């Protein structure tokens, strides 16, 4: 098997190799082809192309206002680019309502935590199972037979995720009252409960202290390793990204500066000028 | 066939063949439109400055008018009862800020909205307990409002303009001009606009929110009193007006919640529209369609343009 | 409470998912059941039997169904409505038409069918909620309120062309006992209302704990996130409107047929819609228990106040106005101090009692 560091960009993009720590990387799941996104007269993204390979941890980084969140929203199908195409699993993805995107196996977290504040941790995690629950209104009303069986089955799944992310102790706590770091973790749990093929993380480490960041990094790596979930994440914190990502896209002012392994990106002069040189 | 004729052809023939009557209808619609605009204006003032959707604006109209008449009945001269009523509206503004708005600051909009429904009940109960629940006649000549009418001959008939209605329109115009002047050229008016644009920024440059809220609620109270006088002079002062006052809500939907020109244009559209619809089409449906016409128009309008006539398009963010 | 759940461990998720996982709560429900039967036999001590039933207990139970329905819409799905009164009206008029066309079908079945009619109408007026939220939705539901009110008054077919323009309830029987109309048996009426309330409370609590209830709360708490997780806003909002209107429709039919015996448009007007909203706010948004407390409070408190006023020699109108003010003040205070209403206060005191007598 090739070492990633010695591969050409074409080989890196094509997939079908193993990471240095032995995780298999498959073919492209998601491809951005010449994406341009405008709001009125403002161009948020211009001519961006990159892909996300099955099984990898893909990071999108850049300074404030670089267009990272817009990029994630395009991947997520929440924004529709004026130019370019988003390819999903080998074919162009038509624009569709957000709930259908979810049905295709894409889950996400949000920069400003978007938990359901009126519910407990457990209920929030259970919401991740909604799509997989099918029993109709009639059985729901009776909460008997098939409905309760289904509820129990998915409760078991939810509890697995809760165990995995070590949030058992706050299972019944209302999420609004939890500290910030735990809320982020509950949000990750909710996304994981969806058992997604592609997991999008919007600044998962924002606003955390060093210890919490380490925990979160560990969880992200564990998720990727244990479930083989493809992960795309936006992050501000360079150091963390370089540790966990397989490949990194760098954006600045809506343009793409670089795309490659963390080592390549760090060595790229344009990136150093735009980002690393000025940021701490 | 007859029904289609009644809907699509007959009303237009009516309008053309009796132009004097049509003008009369338009004028009546215009006058009630002015009153809707005034109520909507009171809503907009408070909504712009505090983001509170004041459901009680309608009852404030009734309360203000009732207070004025009630005080006059105690033997106070007309002009003085107007001033005392203004004083009561100030006291109301002050208490609302102190006991309702201030403790609720930072809550969800919908909570504040529900609190104003609570306020509505307090004003209904309080107003009836203090001033009595039976309809009262509004002071007119006592406070210098004209009576009688002008008759204008046209198209072989006559159109009657009540002097009172003309006065109402003029006073409403003056009130709106006065408010515009107040917001543009006075210190507190400018502060108020600053608050409307950005609460936190306004607070950080030292504008006292509490004081501003008292001012807008008082301004809304003044608008309510003027509306109450005009309305009361046309019919009677009674709590039934409260339901009619709810029509200011569809006006707001049409005009946008934050736009003063929107409130005026929306009010006139609703006022004229419902009168014309009632007279020329209402009969087909058994009459009384004025009670819902405004709401249904607003509803249809909402489906196509949720931000109102003058509002900005809303971009959703995550 | 005076008991604690210590020593009761759940060994399966199914047991943990029960409505009353704690043994003492089950006993508590049993006691409530007994109490309900005792009330039917002896009434409330100190009050005349018919007065207690007709003026207090039956209306409170009926309004609890309304409050449950409205709470599903406002408290659980986050869609505010000021059209409750009119949706109850739909139920009442639907029931009148149904029992006119099919007089031989048992009236209890008509009560349920009326709920379905109201659900359809409610869904129709809930359609705008897909495009609009918050205050705009308030305006839309007010439109429903005024339009339906107008229809009730202006379409004679709806009230069977009665000269009075009102619904006149015919006599209908259950097992040979008249349960509607002038000669109805009040104890039977009480049991029928109790039966509907118990069933509908059970269904509501099942719904909100399952998939559908969660999807309502997701839309309420954060609609965009809900959609990105796969909740379909169309189906979710409309199902909330449908279920809520079903409850309102059944309670409207019960209100007119079991309680009022005759009803004009005024029984469904906007002021009633406000009262139902107040029941939900005072009781607690998003709480089943709260719906019970809110309905009881809003209905019984003014009656109590009037009685107290009477004994001090104040006239009834004054006391009515005072109760309006008091309810308004209560609303404001509740919103300031405890936006989750009486139900939350109850929960807090239960929590305190649980720790008693060692508060730490």
- Compute the distance between CA of residue C189 and CA of residue B308 in angstroms, rounded to an integer: 49
Q: What is the mean pLDDT of residues A154-165?
A: 89
Distance CA B118, CA C298 (A): 13
Q: Which has more pLDDT, B140 or A69?
A: A69
Name the C residues in 111-150 with CB < 8 Å from any A CB. none
Residue B122's domain comprises 2-304
Please tell me which residue of chain B has the smallest CA distance to C322: B125
Q: In whole angstroms, give the CA distance from residue A48 to residue A25.
A: 22
Give exposure, C252-263, as e/b (b: 16+ Cβ within 10 Å): bbbbbbbbbeeb
Q: Is B310 inside a domain boundary?
A: no
Q: Are residues A151 and A83 in the same domain?
A: no
Of B142-156, B274-288, C68-82, C308-322, the least confident: B142-156
Partner B contacted by C155 (CB < 8 A) = yes
Nearest to C229 by CA among A162, A115, A153: A115
- Tell me the average pLDDT across C224-248: 91
Both A5 and A90 in a single domain?
A: yes
Q: How far apart are CA C33 and CA B282, in angstroms?
A: 53
**B106 domain-assigned:** yes
Q: Do A115 and C222 touch (CB under 8 A)?
A: yes
> How many separate domains does chain A show?
2
Question: Does residue B309 belong to any structural domain of this protein?
Answer: no
β-sheet bridge partners, residue A91: A88
Give the residue-averaged pLDDT of B93-109. Answer: 84
| Residue C218 pLDDT exceeds 80 | yes
Mean pLDDT of the C47-63 span: 85
Number of domains within chain B: 1
Coil, strand or helix at A176? helix
Encode pLDDT of A23-34 as tens digits. Answer: 888 888 888 888
A231, A52 Cβ separation under 8 angstroms: no
Q: Do A114 and C222 touch (CB under 8 A)?
A: yes
Does B182 reside within a domain? Answer: yes
What local confidence, expressed as pLDDT, does residue B310 receive? 66
User: What span, in angstroms and rounded, lies between the C-alpha atoms of A162 and A155?
Assistant: 10
Q: Is C244 on the interface with A (CB under 8 A)?
A: no
Q: Which of A127, A161, A195 is the last residue of a domain?
A: A195
Grade residue B311 by pLDDT with cuts at 50, 70 and 90.
low
Check pLDDT > 50 for residue B60: yes
Compute the mean pLDDT over every residue in chain C, rounded to the nearest whole number: 85
Residue after which a domain boundary falls, among A195, A211, A242: A195
| Burial A3-37, CB ≥16 within 10 A → b, else e | ebeeeeeeebbebebebeeeeebeebbbbbbebeb
Separation CA B61–CA B38 (nearest Å): 10
Task: Tell me which chain A residues have a C-beta less than 8 angstroms from the C-beta of B318.
Answer: 73, 78, 110, 114
Q: Is the pLDDT of residue A158 over 60?
A: yes
Could you report the per-residue pLDDT of B148-177, keeping only the tens digit for each?
777 777 767 777 777 778 888 888 888 888
Q: Which value does ipTM take for this structure?
A: 0.86
Any B CB within 8 A of C305 CB: no
DSSP class per residue in C254-318: HIIIIIISEE-GGGGSHHHHHHHHHHHHHH-TT-HHHHHHHHHHHHHHHHHHHHHHHHTT--HHH
For residue A274, the domain's CATH number is: 3.40.50.300
- Interchain contact C335–B (C-beta under 8 A): yes
* A158 interface with C at CB cutoff 8 Å: no
What is the domain range of residue A134?
115-195
The side-by-side arrangement of strands in the sheet containing A247-252 is A106-108, A198-202, A230-235, A57-61, A247-252, A255-260
Give the residue on A whose Cα is nearest the Cα of C340: A118
Report if residue A110 sits inside a domain: no
> Could you give the CA distance from residue A68 to residue A88 in angstroms, rounded to a whole number?
19
Are A81 and A174 in a shared domain?
A: no
C50 class by beta-carbon count within 10 Å (0-12 exposed, 13-18 middle, 19+ buried): exposed
- Closest by Cβ to C207, choosing from A103, A141, A150: A141
Least confident of A77-81, B95-99, B174-178, C127-131: C127-131
Query: Are A140 and C224 in contact (CB < 8 Å)?
Result: no
Q: Could you give the CA distance from residue C81 to residue C118 in angstroms, rounded to a whole number?
A: 14
Topology (CATH) of C23-355: ABC transporter involved in vitamin B12 uptake, BtuC (1.10.3470)
Residues in chain C closer than 8 A to A118 (CB atoms): 217, 220-221, 286
Could you tell me if residue B286 is inside a domain?
Answer: yes
Q: How far apart (Å, rounded) are the C-alpha atoms in residues B44 and B257?
A: 6
Strand partners, B160: B151
pLDDT value of residue A280: 41
* Residue-wise pLDDT tens digits, B179-226: 888 877 877 777 777 776 666 766 666 667 777 888 888 989 998 998
Residue with tokens 């006119």: C100
CATH value at residue B228 = 1.10.3470
Q: Which residue has the higher pLDDT, C88 or B2?
A: C88
Q: Say if residue C159's pLDDT is above 60.
A: yes
Per-residue pLDDT, C69: 95
Q: For the segment B259-285, what is each residue's pLDDT rounded down to a tens digit? A: 778 888 888 888 888 888 888 887 777
Whole-number pLDDT of residue C62: 95
Co-location of A70 and A139 in the same domain: no
Q: What is the dihedral of CA C45, C51, C56, C59, to 10 degrees?
A: 140
* Mean pLDDT rounded to a whole number for chain A: 85
pLDDT at C80 over 70: yes
Which residue ranges make up each domain of chain C?
Answer: 23-355
pLDDT value of position B236: 78
Do A142 and A236 belong together in one domain? no
- Whether the per-residue pLDDT at A36 is higher than 70: the answer is yes
C329 closest CB neighbour out of B107, B122, B252: B122
Closest CB to A155: pick one of C13, C203, C225: C13
Test C222 with A147 for CB contact under 8 angstroms: no
The answer as to whether B192 is a domain residue is: yes
Q: Chain B closest CA to C64's CA: distance in Å?
A: 20
Peptide bond into A263 cis (omega under 30): no
- Give me the residue label for tokens 């060692």: C358
pLDDT at A72 over 80: yes
Under the banding of pLDDT at 50, 70 and 90, the label for residue B317 is low
**Which residues make beta-bridge pairs with A198?**
A106, A230
A271 and A215 assigned to the same domain: yes
Alpha helices in chain A (DSSP H): 9-14, 68-75, 98-103, 121-127, 137-142, 146-164, 180-193, 210-227, 238-244, 262-267, 269-271
Q: How far apart are CA B209 and CA B198, in angstroms?
A: 11
Task: Say yes or no: B110 contacts chain A, CB-CB below 8 A.
Answer: no
Dig out the tokens for C309 from the structure: 């006023």
Whether residue C265 is predicted with pLDDT greater than 50 in this model: the reply is yes
**Distances, alpha carbon B5 to alpha carbons A79, B9, B141, C224, C318, in Å:** 48, 5, 47, 47, 54
Better pLDDT: B137 or C290: C290
Structural domain contains residue B282: yes
Q: How many CB pairs under 8 A join A and B?
A: 5
What are the E-state strand segments in chain C? 167-168, 173-174, 177-178, 262-263
Query: A114, B315: Cβ pair inside 8 Å?
Result: no
Report if residue A274 sits inside a domain: yes
pLDDT for res A85: 87
State the Cα–Cα distance between residues C116 and A184, nearest whole angstrom. Answer: 42
Contacts of A71 (CB under 8 A, 6+ apart): A32, A35, A45, A48, A60, A234, A251
CA dihedral B39, B45, B48, B52 (to 10 degrees): -70
Confidence of residue B90 (pLDDT cuts 50, 70, 90): very high
| Average pLDDT of the residues in C252-262 | 91
* Mean pLDDT over the full length of chain B: 81
**Does C298 lie at the interface with B, CB-CB under 8 angstroms?**
no
The predicted structure's pLDDT at residue A279: 46
Report how far residue B131's alpha carbon sits from residue C179's, in angstroms, rounded to the nearest whole number. 44
Q: What is the pLDDT of residues A211-261, one digit of tens each?
A: 888 888 999 999 998 888 999 999 877 788 888 888 999 888 888 888 888
pTM of the model as a whole: 0.88
Question: For residue range C168-202, what is the model confidence (pLDDT) as tens digits?
Answer: 888 887 888 888 877 778 888 888 999 999 999 99
* pLDDT value at B18 more than 50: yes
Mean pLDDT of C213-222: 91
How many angstroms separate the Cα of C195 from the Cα of each of A142, C33, C108, C188? 16, 11, 11, 10
Average pLDDT over every residue of A115-127: 90
Chain A touched by C215 (CB under 8 Å) = yes
Residues of chain B above pLDDT 70, percent: 92
Residue B104 contacts residue B112 (beta carbons within 8 Å): yes
Q: Among residues 257-316 of chain B, which lie with CB inside 8 Å of chain A? A: 315
Flag whether B312 is in a domain. Answer: no
Structure tokens given for B112: 């504040």
Residue B117 contacts C, CB cutoff 8 Å: yes
If one compares C126 and C348, the residue with the highest pLDDT of the two is C126
């Amino acid at each position: 098997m090739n070492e990633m560091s010695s591969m050409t960009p074409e080989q890196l993009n094509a997939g079908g190799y193993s990471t240095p720590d032995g995780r298999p990387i498959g073919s492209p799941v998601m491809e951005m082809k010449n994406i341009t996104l405008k709001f009125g007269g403002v161009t948020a993204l211009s001519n961006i192309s990159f892909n996300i390979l099955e099984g990898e941890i893909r990071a999108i980084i850049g300074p404030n206002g670089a267009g990272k969140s817009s990029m994630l929203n395009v991947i997520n199908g929440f924004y529709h680019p004026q130019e370019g195409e988003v390819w999903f699993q080998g074919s162009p993805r038509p624009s569709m309502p957000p709930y259908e995107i979810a049905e295709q196996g894409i889950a996400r977290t949000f920069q400003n935590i978007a938990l359901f504040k009126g519910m407990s941790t457990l209920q929030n995690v259970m919401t991740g199972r909604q799509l997989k629950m099918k029993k109709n209104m009639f059985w729901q009303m009776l909460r008997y037979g098939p409905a309760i069986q289904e509820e129990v089955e998915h409760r078991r799944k939810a509890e697995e995720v809760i165990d995995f992310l070590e949030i058992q102790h706050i299972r019944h706590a209302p999420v609004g009252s939890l500290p910030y770091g735990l809320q982020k973790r509950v949000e990750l749990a909710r996304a994981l409960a969806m058992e997604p093929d592609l997991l999008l993380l919007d600044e998962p480490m924002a606003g955390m202290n060093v210890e919490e960041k380490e925990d979160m990094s560990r969880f992200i790596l564990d998720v990727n390793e244990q479930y083989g979930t493809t992960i795309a994440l936006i992050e501000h914190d360079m150091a963390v990204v370089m540790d966990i990502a397989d490949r990194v896209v760098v954006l600045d002012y809506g343009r793409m500066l670089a795309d490659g392994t963390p080592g390549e990106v760090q060595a790229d002069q344009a990136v150093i000028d735009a980002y690393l040189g000025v940021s701490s | 066939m007859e029904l289609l004729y009644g809907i699509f052809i007959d009303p237009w023939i009516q309008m053309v063949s009796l132009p004097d009557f049509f003008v009369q209808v338009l004028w009546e619609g215009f006058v009630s439109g002015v009153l809707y605009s005034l109520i909507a204006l009171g809503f907009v003032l408070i909504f712009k400055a505090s983001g509170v959707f004041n459901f009680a604006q309608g009852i404030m109209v009734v309360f203000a008018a009732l207070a004025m008449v009630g005080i006059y009945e105690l033997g106070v001269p007309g002009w003085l009862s107007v001033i005392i009523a203004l004083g009561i509206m100030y006291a109301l503004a002050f208490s609302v800020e102190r006991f309702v708005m201030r403790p609720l600051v930072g809550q969800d909009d919908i909570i504040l909205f529900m609190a104003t429904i609570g306020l509505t009940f307090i004003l209904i109960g309080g107003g009836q307990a203090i001033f009595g629940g039976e309809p009262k006649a509004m002071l007119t000549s006592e406070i210098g409002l004209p009576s009688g009418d002008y008759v204008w001959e046209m198209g072989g008939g006559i159109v009657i303009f009540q002097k009172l209605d003309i006065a109402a329109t003029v006073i409403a115009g003056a009130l709106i001009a006065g408010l515009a002047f107040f917001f543009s050229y006075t210190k507190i008016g400018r502060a108020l606009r600053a608050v409307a644009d950005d609460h936190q920024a306004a607070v950080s440059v030292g504008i006292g929110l509490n004081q501003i809220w008292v001012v807008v609620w008082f301004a809304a109270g003044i608008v309510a009193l003027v509306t109450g006088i005009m309305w009361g002079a046309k019919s009677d002062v009674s709590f039934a007006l409260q339901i009619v006052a709810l029509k200011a809500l569809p006006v707001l939907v049409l005009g946008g919640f934050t736009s003063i020109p929107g409130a005026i244009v929306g009010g006139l559209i609703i006022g004229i529209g419902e009168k014309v619809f009632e007279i020329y089409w209402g009969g087909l449906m058994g009459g009384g369609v004025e009670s819902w016409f405004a709401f249904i128009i607003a509803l249809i309008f909402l489906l196509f343009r949720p931000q109102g006539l003058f509002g900005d398009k809303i971009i959703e963010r995550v | 409470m005076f008991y604690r759940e210590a020593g009761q461990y759940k060994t399966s998720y199914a047991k943990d998912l029960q409505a009353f996982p704690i043994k003492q709560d089950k006993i508590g429900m049993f006691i409530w059941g007994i109490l309900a039967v005792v009330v039917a036999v002896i009434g409330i001590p100190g009050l005349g039997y018919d007065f207690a039933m007709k003026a207090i207990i039956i209306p409170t139970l009926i309004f609890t169904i309304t409050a449950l329905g409205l709470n599903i819409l406002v408290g659980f799905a986050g869609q505010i409505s000021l059209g409750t009164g009119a949706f109850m009206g739909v139920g009442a008029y639907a029931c009148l038409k149904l029992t006119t066309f099919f007089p031989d079908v048992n009236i209890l079945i008509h009560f349920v069918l009326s709920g379905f009619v109201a659900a359809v109408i409610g869904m129709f007026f809930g359609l705008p909620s897909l495009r609009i939220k918050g205050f705009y939705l308030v305006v839309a539901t007010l439109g429903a309120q005024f339009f339906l009110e107008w229809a009730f008054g202006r379409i004679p077919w709806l009230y069977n062309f009665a000269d009075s323009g009102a619904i006149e309830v015919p006599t209908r029987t259950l097992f040979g006992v008249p349960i509607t109309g002038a000669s109805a048996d009040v104890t039977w009426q009480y049991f029928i209302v109790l039966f509907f309330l118990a069933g509908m409370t059970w269904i509501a609590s099942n719904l909100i704990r399952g998939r559908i209830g969660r999807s309502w709360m997701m839309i309420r708490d954060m609609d965009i996130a809900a959609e990105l997780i796969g909740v379909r806003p169309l189906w979710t909002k409309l199902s909330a409107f449908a279920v809520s209107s079903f409850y309102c429709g059944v309670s409207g039919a019960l209100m007119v047929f079991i309680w009022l015996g005759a009803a004009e448009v005024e029984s469904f007007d906007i002021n009633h819609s406000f009262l139902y909203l107040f029941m939900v706010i005072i009781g607690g948004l998003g709480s089943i228990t709260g719906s019970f407390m809110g309905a009881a409070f809003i209905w019984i408190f003014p009656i109590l106040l009037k009685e107290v006023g009477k004994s001090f020699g104040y006239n009834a109108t004054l006391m009515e106005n005072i109760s309006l003010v008091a309810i308004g003040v209560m609303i404001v205070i509740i919103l300031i101090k405890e936006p989750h209403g009486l139900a939350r206060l109850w929960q807090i005191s239960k929590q305190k009692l649980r720790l008693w007598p060692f508060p730490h």
